[in-house]
Structure 1
């Protein structure tokens, strides 16, 4: 499904949004996490795939590969830890904690009895558990029925206590709120709801690092023209998309790129929000192979940023995503193989669907001069699922990636 957003504009970045989320705050977050052991301090790769660009009929096609952001395996490593740091600073101002000292465990004895809780589809909970372990506080993670045991084990490995509930992600969010109230534990969620926006804002703010790196890796300066004409962003509750799009909007103002939102057909809450003009719920089952995008309700806070700047909304099938995973893993003589998980490939799948319909592609402005970016948000965070869908293990794809690089460097 495809929808052109009538409320998207080419205005300057509004002051009321900048007061909530800004480039300056994103840079501060990036600095605070610069010493965290679970983050690789080098920028994640920005792969240019000329073979894919030629096949798609565009001037350039790039993949920002977040699989190497952290041993945690996804971009979520940028959000949960900064939200935890800011939460502790707000709740304990009398302690005068140093933000960098928090994430490196300098105050773990003073925080041993402090507990946070969150619901998750996997990646956010894993990042929060790792951050809590580094800080020295306790962490409780609520998982719904569709989260794999493999993802559960990856979270528990960082010392989190796991609570399992029936139902989907949205029901796990409701259960989390109830448990948090009973125990007096603060919630560190990446989705907002009525009366709960500060922590999700901090999570979203952390994702600005991705956009900052993109500029450094291309033009090298924010004053230059945006290196991409089109940026495809994954849905979920909207947090990652809001964090990246708001940063690029503030930097490039009226010259921002075209933003295209992509979701699973059965988890179309942002698509429905665009149609209705307000934060809405998904119309499908929500259960998708794209586990990180299997969310049934739009974050109202994220929607404030997405409604005025996302130009087009799309939904894709699970089969579309699996095919894109296989294509990126395969590589070619000109294109490096890329380990991209189920939720990572939504942008490529959507672009391929668009180009099958020339009229729709023209509506979006995709042509021979287009420079297209997708964000590969995760690697093989569920290795057995990845191997089943792609037909080979992530280790095998990584080995071919290294061999490709060696051949290019000869």
Structure 2
């Protein structure tokens, strides 16, 4: 499915609050917080000239979030950042003085954090980030996981000391349960999706993701002409598209949102003109994108700055995982999880079916984001036929830059 953005708000300025969330000052704050993380390294931006040539593009770059902050996903940027901000705000209130990120290890701040419990629902990656953030600041975490979350992903979250709570149903069911239980117990919900009356914290999570596009623009010689980014509830797509619109203005790239055909809630919002709950059918292999209702905050941004919405099928996502693991020419091998290469899958489909509509040609400079590495290594090996370690070892043997 493919749909140009026909919303009346398309290419209109962002709301003031949204511009503040995904704008330059917000990205500055995220950068300052990242500088205080002990394991922060800027993830690479890979050039794939062989694949670009095959597709008939000028250049193709992949921003690789597969090793971000030791969590293997772009979500490492959002949940933990929001937890840090919330702890500092509560500590400032209780201590009666401003405290900043450099104060997070002070005993009086950790004493405040120890009284706080943060909660969220997750498909896997967001929960890891929230749990890691809570552990780093000395807070407690309660993470709600639905029936489709693998045992491997549950274990990866639990290792940060979080209380794990299983929920029947899908991701949206776990979101509702997390909100209900947190309200009863006085916990703070740190969700990456929003709902009426609950927008600021998901905005902080989105703000964390602006680091991706800020870094990418600093790593590339010319700004991209086209960007393809995948969406679950829409947070990363909104953060990237919104920041590009603010920084580049009228020179911003053509931005396409890509989703699984089986869980296309942002596409559904684009078709209806507002967020709707789409029907839950057969599960998608793109597990981190299996969401059935777009975040209103993310949609508010995407309605203005996304140019097109499209879906890809199960086999296309798996094919991209395998292609990135076994590249042509001197392209580096990239470990992309089931949801990681979906933006690239969208680009490949677009080059076959929608080149004219998107203005894609031999001069196009395209940016995509590998949003996750092998966050479930066993599942990755099943789908790709190689372990993540063997894929990366191929770079060493070939001399490609990993």
Going from structure 1 to structure 2, the CA distance change for 1:6 and 1:314 (only over 3 Å counts) comes to same
1:75 aligns with 2:71: no
1:384 aligns with 2:378: yes
Q: Distance in 2 between matches of 1:105 and 1:234?
A: 39
- Report the secondary structure of 1:381's partner residue: coil
1:402 aligns with 2:396: yes
Q: Distance in 1 between matches of 2:396 and 2:4?
A: 40
1:200 aligns with 2:226: no
8 A contact 1:192–1:200 mirrored in 2: yes
Q: How does 1:139-158 map to 2 (within 5 A)?
A: 139-158=141-160
User: Could you tell me which residue of structure 1 aligns to residue 332 of structure 2?
Assistant: 336
1:296 aligns with one of 276, 292, 295: 292
User: Could you tell me which residue of structure 2 aligns to residue 90 of structure 1?
Assistant: 89
1:168 aligns with 2:170: yes
- Give the C-alpha shift of residue 227 in structure 1: 1.6
User: Could you tell me which residue of structure 1 aligns to residue 260 of structure 2?
Assistant: 264
Q: How does 1:32-111 map to 2 (within 5 A)?
A: 32-37=33-38, 39-41=39-41, 43-92=42-91, 93-95=93-95, 96=97, 98-101=99-102, 103-104=104-105, 107-111=109-113
- Give the C-alpha shift of residue 103 in structure 1: 4.9
**CA-based RMSD:** 1.8
Going from structure 1 to structure 2, the CA distance change for 1:14 and 1:168 (only over 3 Å counts) comes to closer
User: Could you tell me which residue of structure 2 aligns to residue 312 of structure 1?
Assistant: 308
User: Could you tell me which residue of structure 1 aligns to residue 26 of structure 2?
Assistant: 25
The count of aligned residue pairs is 398
Q: Distance in 1 between matches of 2:176 and 2:120?
A: 10
- Report the secondary structure of 1:88's partner residue: helix
Q: Distance in 2 between matches of 1:113 and 1:94?
A: 12
Q: Distance in 2 between matches of 1:32 and 1:191?
A: 22
1:179 aligns with 2:181: yes
Q: Distance in 1 between matches of 2:276 and 2:129?
A: 27
8 A contact 2:113–2:139 mirrored in 1: yes
- 58-67 vs 4-13, which moves further: 4-13
- Give the C-alpha shift of residue 99 in structure 1: 3.0
- Give the C-alpha shift of residue 34 in structure 1: 1.4
Going from structure 1 to structure 2, the CA distance change for 1:181 and 1:250 (only over 3 Å counts) comes to same
Q: Distance in 1 between matches of 2:89 and 2:400?
A: 51
Q: Distance in 2 between matches of 1:243 and 1:294?
A: 19
8 A contact 1:268–1:284 mirrored in 2: no
- 194-203 vs 100-109, which moves further: 100-109
Structure 1: runs of 5 or more not aligned: 220-225
- Report the secondary structure of 2:63's partner residue: strand
CA displacement, residues 41-88 of structure 1 (integer Å, 9 cap, x when unaligned)? 3x2110000100011011111110001222111111111111112222
User: Could you tell me which residue of structure 2 aligns to residue 278 of structure 1?
Assistant: 274
Q: Distance in 2 between matches of 1:144 and 1:336?
A: 35
User: Could you tell me which residue of structure 2 aligns to residue 237 of structure 1?
Assistant: 233
User: Could you tell me which residue of structure 1 aligns to residue 2 of structure 2?
Assistant: 2
- Give the C-alpha shift of residue 403 in structure 1: 2.6
Q: Distance in 1 between matches of 2:275 and 2:361?
A: 32
Q: Distance in 2 between matches of 1:100 and 1:184?
A: 24
- 385-394 vs 331-340, which moves further: 331-340
8 A contact 2:34–2:40 mirrored in 1: no
8 A contact 1:234–1:346 mirrored in 2: yes
Going from structure 1 to structure 2, the CA distance change for 1:398 and 1:20 (only over 3 Å counts) comes to closer
- Report the secondary structure of 1:118's partner residue: strand
8 A contact 2:263–2:280 mirrored in 1: yes
Q: Distance in 1 between matches of 2:98 and 2:290?
A: 36
8 A contact 1:35–1:104 mirrored in 2: no
- 66-75 vs 384-393, which moves further: 66-75
Q: Distance in 2 between matches of 1:337 and 1:162?
A: 34
- Give the C-alpha shift of residue 40 in structure 1: 2.4
TM-score normalised by the chain length of structure 2: 0.95
- Give the C-alpha shift of residue 263 in structure 1: 0.5
8 A contact 1:265–1:284 mirrored in 2: no
